[in-house]
Amino acid sequence: MKYSFRIGSAWGIPIELHFTFTLLIAAVFALSLWSLSFYTFFIVLFLFVFVVFHELAHSIVARRYGIKVRKIVLYPIGGVSEIEELPDNPSQEWRMAVAGPATSLVLGLALLIISLILSPQLFPAIITFAVTGNFLFDLAILNVLLGIFNLIPAFPMDGGRVFRALLAERMKYSDATRYAVNLGRLLGVIMVVVGFVFNFLLILVGLFVYIGASEEGEQTIISTKLAGVRVKDVMQLEVGYVNPQQTLSEALEIMFKNRYHDVLVENENVFEGIITWNELMKIEAHQRDAIRVEQMPLKKISIYSDESILEANKIIIREKIDLIPVVARENPSKVVGTLTSEAIANAYEQVRTR
């Protein structure tokens, strides 16, 4: 099930709303309608426009370093830039991480200056960060707070990634992650304790920080361990394939037999590509007996047996396929096995439960 839907794009990067975000907007609108005051509704709405700018800053820097950005998803707690991989270079990681908060601070300060020029009497409110009812000023303060909060040097905030990257320049990546995760957990506990005394909302934020830091630590540890697993360690030696002269109906039978939504195409033991389930489903059922595999578009994708399964997983996700053929490095047209998404998931689960 897809839990988010596309609302647009910027610089070729799709922007999506998670369904829970629409629930938040609906709830705020309902409360505004009840009180006949829509100030909070428009503040929340415009704040999330600036959250998009925050996430776009991350994404643009990522693309500058050649990292593909799949999409930006807006959640009630903020935005997430879904990138294909984290940079191996710590200096690139901290630049990517700091871009978002820096953008929020710059935009917030720009709005603050404009609002103070228009309404000089608001100067005292800067010290207290109080809600003034001045739309421009309040939006500016929220952006500044967004930037400052995200610069806290603890996971899962951007500042945690900056902290981790700076530490990773001086120690092992896994050790740097552990320090950032522990700091995030400590901060989460402090927020929860303080929240019981001052503000219930701080308890929720503290729980979010603690859980987010813990998940970040677990994912990094798993990724580090999986990086050492080679394709040959988990690939299947039995390969189901079709030849170009077979019909689409026959290709479909092979798919069902192998229990995967894609199938390899070989011609006299020479790998020609993959025919995917999505391409097959574009053809009407009554036409599949008359159309041959060679008439269909094929994906010419493969991987070597000595590569990491993390690299294979990136390809599977990017190409939206269920399996990837493993070829011999000395002869890339010869298939020696297949690696499936199921095999990668099993390897992930084994590492996670160790």
What is the per-residue pLDDT across 271-324, written as a single tens digit (0 to 9) for each?
888 888 888 888 888 888 888 888 888 888 888 888 888 788 878 877 888 888
What does pLDDT average to over the chain?
Answer: 81
Q: Strands (DSSP E) along the chain, which ranges? A: 4-10, 13-18, 69-75, 78-83, 241-242, 262-267, 270-276, 303-304, 323-328, 331-340
Residue 1's pLDDT is 40
Checking if the pLDDT of 225 tops 50, the result is yes
The amino acid present at 163, given as its one-letter code, is F
Task: Count CB atoms within 10 A of the CB of residue 185.
Answer: 19
What's this model's pTM, rounded to 2 decimal places?
0.67
Annotation marks residue 93 as catalytic: no
In this prediction, residue 77 has a pLDDT band, given cuts at 50, 70 and 90, of: low
Better-scored residue on pLDDT, 45 or 223: 45
Buried b (16+ CB within 10 A) or exposed e, 48-82: bebbbbbbbbbbbbbbeeebebebbbbbeebbbbe
What is d(CA 267, CA 131) in angstroms, rounded to the nearest whole number?
A: 70
Find the catalytic residue in 55, 216, 266, 272.
Answer: 55
